[in-house]
Amino acid sequence: MPSPQTPFVALIPIPPAPPPHGERGVFGWLRANLFCGPLNIALTLVCVLLILLAVPPMIKFLLLDAVWSGSDRNACLARPERPVVGACWAFVAERINFFVYGFYPIEERWRVDLFFAALAFGIGWLTWLDAPRRGLGMLYFFAVLPVISFVLLYGAPRLGLPIVETAKWGGILVTVVVAAVGIVVALPIGILLALGRRSSMPAVRLLSVIYIEFVRGVPLITVLFMASVMLPLFLPEVWSPDKLLRALIGVAMFSAAYLAEVVRAGLQATPRGQYEAAVALGLGYWKTMYLVILPQALKITIPNLVNSAIGLFKDTTLVFVVGIFDLLKTVEASRIDPKWATPVTSLTGYAFVGLFYFVGCYVMSRYARYVEARLARGEQR
C-alpha cells in the first residue's frame, strides 16, 4: 500500500465502461423513478389507482359508448338494444357551425375562416423563434392583423364586404376575438405601462402604478360590468360603442395591467449594463428600449406571457355575463334545444367546450415549456 506521499504517474489510460447492471433500461428507470423507497411506492400506487378510476370511464363515455352520427335526439336516447349511451357527438357535429360562427351569415363565413388563417399565420410567425424577419412579424401581428381582422369580420361595404353586426358573431369566433384582442391590444399597452412604472418621471410612474394596481385589484367580471354598463354613461349617446366592443375594451384594459407586471419582471431581469451601454452610445430612451432592452426583456418574458395568455383564454368565458355569445354560451343555448334533449346532451356539450379549452391551453403550455427549456440552455439570441 503506497503512502499518500508516493509520487504517482498514470501509466494505462482507463477506457469508459458501461454503468452497472440494473441502472439502465426500463427496469432501471422504473426502479429509480417509481419504486425507490416506501413513500415513492405508495405514491405510485395511489396515482395508478386514480388513473384507473378516472381514465377508463372517461374513454368509455367519450369514445366507446359515444354516438357519432344522427340527426336528432332519437340517435342519442337509450334503447333496449343499447342501454348505455355515451357522448352524443352527433349533437356537436350538427351544431358545429353554430359553435364556431354563432349567427354569422352562412354566405359570409369564409371571412371568418380567412380571419382564423390570418391569425394562425401571425401566431406561427411570432412563436417560431427562428423564423425569418420576426420584426416584420411583430408589425404584422400588432398593426396589420387588427386592421385586416376588423375589415374581414365587421365588413367594409366599399370593398364589397357587407357589414356583419357584432350581435351576430358568436361561438369560437367570439372566444378567439376576445382572447386575441386581450393579447394583441393589451400587450403594447402593457409594455407602455411597464415602462411607465419604471420611469424616472414621478408623474408617469404614479399614473402607471395607480392604473395597474387598481385594475389588478378588481375581478374581471367587475371590469366587464363596468365596461358594459358604466362606459355608455360617460360617453355621448352617438358614440355609444357596441356591446362586443365594450367588452373588448374591458378585457384589453384588464389584461394590460397583468401583462404590464409580467413585462416589468422581464425589464428588471435585463442587466442595467445593457441600458448603460446603449445610452453611452448616444441612443435615446425610446431607441434604447426598442432596440436593446425590450428584445431581451420580452424574450425572457415569453413563458410568463404565455401563462397570462392561458389565463386570459379561459377568462374569455366570462363575457357571457354581459350577454355576448361566446363558445360556452352557444353550447348553453344549444343544449336546451328540445330537438336534442337527451340525458347526455349537456354533458357532451360541456365535454366539447372542455376539450376545446384544454387543447388550446395545453398547446400554449407546451410552447411555454419549450421556450423555457430553450432559454435555460442559455440561448443568447
Q: Contact residues for another protein (CB under 8 A)?
A: 271, 273-274, 276-284, 287, 291-292, 295-296, 299, 378, 380-381
CB closer to another protein out of 3 and 380 = 380
Contact 291, 278 (CB under 8 A): yes
* Of 183 and 298, CB closest to another protein: 298
| Least Å from the CB of residue 370 to another protein | 19
CB of 288 to another protein, least distance (A): 10
Residue among 134 and 198 whose Cβ is closer to another protein: 134
CB of 151 to another protein, least distance (A): 33
Q: Which is nearer to another protein, 54 or 277 (CB)?
A: 277
Nearer to another protein, 7 or 378 (CB): 378
At its nearest, how many Å lie between another protein and the CB of residue 237?
A: 45
* Minimum separation from the CB atom of position 200 to another protein (A): 11
Residue number with CB closer to another protein (102 or 266): 266
Nearer to another protein (CB atom), residue 284 or residue 323 = 284
In the block, cell 357596441 appears at 242
Our CB check for another protein shows the closer of 26 and 201 to be 201
Minimal distance, residue 187 CB to another protein, in Å: 19
Cβ distance to another protein smaller for residue 285 or 350: 285
Q: In degrees rounded to 5, what are phi and psi of residue 108?
A: -105, 5
Q: How far apart are CA 321 and CA 284, in angstroms?
A: 46
- The minimum distance between CB 368 and another protein, in angstroms, equals 20
Let me know: does 293 contact 274? Beta carbons within 8 Å: yes
CB 101 within 8 A of CB 112: yes
Minimum CB separation from another protein for residue 125, in Å?
18
- Rounded to a whole number of angstroms, the minimum distance from the CB of residue 294 to another protein is 10
SS (H, E, C) the chain: CCCCCCCCCCCCCCCCCCCCCCCCHHHHHHHHHCCCCHHHHHHHHHHHHHHHHHHHHHHHHHHHCCECCCCCHHHHCCECCECCCCCEHHHHHHHHHHHHHECCCHHHHHHHHHHHHHHHHHHHHHHCCCCCCHHHHHHHHHHHHHHHHHHHHHCEHHHCECCCCHHHECHHHHHHHHHHHHHHCHHHHHHHHHHHHCCCCHHHHHHHHHHHHHHHCCCHHHHHHHHHHHHHHHCCHHHCCCHHHHHHHHHHHHHHHHHHHHHHHHHHHCCHHHHHHHHHCCCCHHHHHHHHHHHHHHHHHHHHHHHHHHHHHHHHHHHHHHCCCEHHHHHHHHHCCHHHCCCCHHHHHHHHHHHHHHHHHHHHHHHHHHHHHHHHCCCCC
Cell of 159: 370593398
